[in-house]
């Protein structure tokens, strides 16, 4: 069974995250560490980002943050990471996070999380990468997004239904195992369409 060695996680920075989501983020960070998967994330200390990183670090994991200089302030940045890359812009951050990771997972979050998730999925669809993209679907948080993708698919705007594009599971281990075993569908079709110019 193939295994992923690093995962980029997108998740909420808001401190208003509820208990169910905080518990899930902590469990995910712990399992990444126990499976010796390096966590790549946005480098923040707040919200689920902080919970996730703290938990991975506590369990002995390797955690790499990528933060734009605008967020590189003590009130925002996580101070305990093994590696922190400070980059110029939000766009540079997303590009570096993507370069460092073998797969991508979104945990519950807000606009930043959704934007990062949809961008990496779009890059997959046009064949810029062939790495798996998943969501930790805690309490069905991502069901409305999966339904929206299905709706766009039914209207002819997206080649595949939501659950074909996004690997969705409420539990860390099945999610990581399914991601490790799967080549993303969209990339296969469109990669060929653009003449294999991506990875």
Of 13, 30, 125, 137, which one interacts with ligand AMP (CB under 6 A)?
13
What's the min distance (Å) between Cβ of 158 and ligand AMP?
22
From CA 195, how far away is CA 50, in angstroms rounded? 41
Q: How many residues bind ligand AMP (CB under 6 A)?
A: 19
Return the H-helix or E-strand segment holding 29.
Answer: helix 19-34
What's the min distance (Å) between Cβ of 131 and ligand AMP?
17
Candidate ranges 6-14, 139-147, 153-161, 188-196; the one touching ligand AMP (CB under 6 A): 6-14
What's the min distance (Å) between Cβ of 164 and ligand AMP?
24
Q: Are 42 and 10 in contact (CB under 8 A)?
A: yes
Query: Between 1 and 111, whose beta carbon lies closer to ligand AMP?
Result: 111
Alpha helices in 35-142, H assignment, sequence order: 47-58, 90-100, 111-125
Q: What is the DSSP letter of 127?
A: T
User: Which of 166, 185, 165 shows the shortest CA–CA distance to 105?
Assistant: 166
Q: Write b or e for each residue in 108-129: b if 16 or more Cβ atoms lie within 10 A of its Cβ, otherwise e.
A: bbeebbeebbeebbebbbebbb
Query: Between 21 and 191, whose beta carbon lies closer to ligand AMP?
Result: 21
User: Cα-Cα-Cα-Cα dihedral of 77, 81, 85, 89, to 10°?
Assistant: -30
Query: Between 116 and 169, whose beta carbon lies closer to ligand AMP?
Result: 116
| Interacting positions 102-141 with ligand AMP (CB under 6 A) | 109-113, 116
What's the min distance (Å) between Cβ of 143 and ligand AMP?
17
The verdict on 161 binding ligand AMP (CB under 6 A) reads no
Q: What are phi and psi of 88, to 5 degrees?
A: -75, -45
Candidate ranges 38-46, 56-64, 130-138, 163-171; the one touching ligand AMP (CB under 6 A): 38-46
- Angle of the 47-58 helix axis to the 19-34 helix axis, nearest 10: 40
Judged by the rule CB under 6 A, the positions of this chain that interact with ligand AMP are 10-14, 42-44, 46, 49, 67, 71, 76, 109-113, 116
């Amino acid at each position: 069974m193939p295994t992923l060695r690093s995962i980029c996680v997108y998740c909420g920075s808001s401190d208003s995250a509820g208990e169910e989501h905080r518990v899930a983020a902590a469990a995910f960070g712990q399992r990444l560490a126990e499976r010796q998967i390096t966590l790549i994330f946005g480098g923040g200390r707040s919200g689920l980002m902080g919970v996730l990183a703290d938990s991975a670090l506590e369990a002995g994991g390797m955690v790499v943050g990528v933060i734009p200089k605008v967020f590189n302030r003590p009130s925002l940045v996580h101070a305990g990471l093994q590696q922190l890359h400070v980059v110029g812009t939000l766009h540079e951050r997303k590009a570096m996070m993507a370069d460092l990771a073998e797969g991508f997972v979104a945990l519950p979050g807000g606009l930043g999380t959704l934007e990062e998730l949809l961008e990496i999925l779009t890059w997959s669809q046009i064949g810029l990468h062939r790495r798996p993209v998943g969501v930790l679907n805690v309490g069905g948080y991502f069901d409305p997004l999966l339904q929206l993708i299905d709706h766009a698919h039914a209207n002819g705007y997206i080649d595949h239904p939501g659950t074909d594009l996004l690997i969705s599971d409420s539990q860390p281990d099945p999610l990581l195992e399914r991601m490790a075993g799967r080549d993303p569908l969209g990339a296969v079709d469109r990669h060929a369409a653009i003449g294999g110019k991506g990875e």
